[in-house]
Amino acid sequence: MNSRREKLLAQLVGGELTDGKARMLDTTIKLILADMGDYYCKMWKAEGPGVMVFQPNAERTMFFMTLKEMHSAKEECEREGNGDLAESFRRILVAAQKINPTESAGYIINDKEGMRFFQVEYNTVGEEKVIAD
């Protein structure tokens, strides 16, 4: 994690990360993702069904990935023998195909911890669905 992110997280949670502080951080992130729903809908209309991808430690830190692009990524993983990643893409594809952008949005976070998919429902921000880790 870069020093800017570390400083911001330290400001938000203070010293040691307790359970209460972790819940506050988790809720803050969910609120931000729910607020990004407008942008998600714009991308959905412009590009077609898909998910927002966040890669904090990559050159391309945020982008929209269509279902077609996810399917291609899954197939590439299968060709390269990376079955675990292919299975993650398959589960994300199944979930992402069901998203109604007026009710929820799909997000992939791809960082040093791995690839995780979250579906955030706008009207029930505290009840996101984690589909694939």
> Quick count: other Cβ atoms within 10 Å of Cβ 23?
11
If one counts the domains in the chain, the total is: 1
**DSSP 3-state helix, strand, coil percentages of the chain (rounded to 5)?**
50, 25, 30
Residue 1, pLDDT score? 47
Residue found by looking up tokens 């579906």 in the block:
119
Average pLDDT value for the chain: 82
Helix H or strand E encompassing 35: helix 19-35
CB neighbour list of residue 84: distance below 8 Å, 6 or more residues apart: none
CB neighbour list of residue 31: distance below 8 Å, 6 or more residues apart: 125
Distance CA 84, CA 16 (A): 33
pLDDT digits (tens, 9 = 90+) for 42-92: 999 999 999 999 998 889 999 999 999 999 999 999 999 999 999 999 999
Strand order of the β-sheet with 62-66 is: 62-66, 50-54, 104-111, 114-121, 129-132
Residue 125, pLDDT score? 47
Which domain range does residue 46 map to? 3-132
The residue count of the chain comes to: 133
Residue 57, pLDDT score? 82
pTM above 0.75, yes or no: no
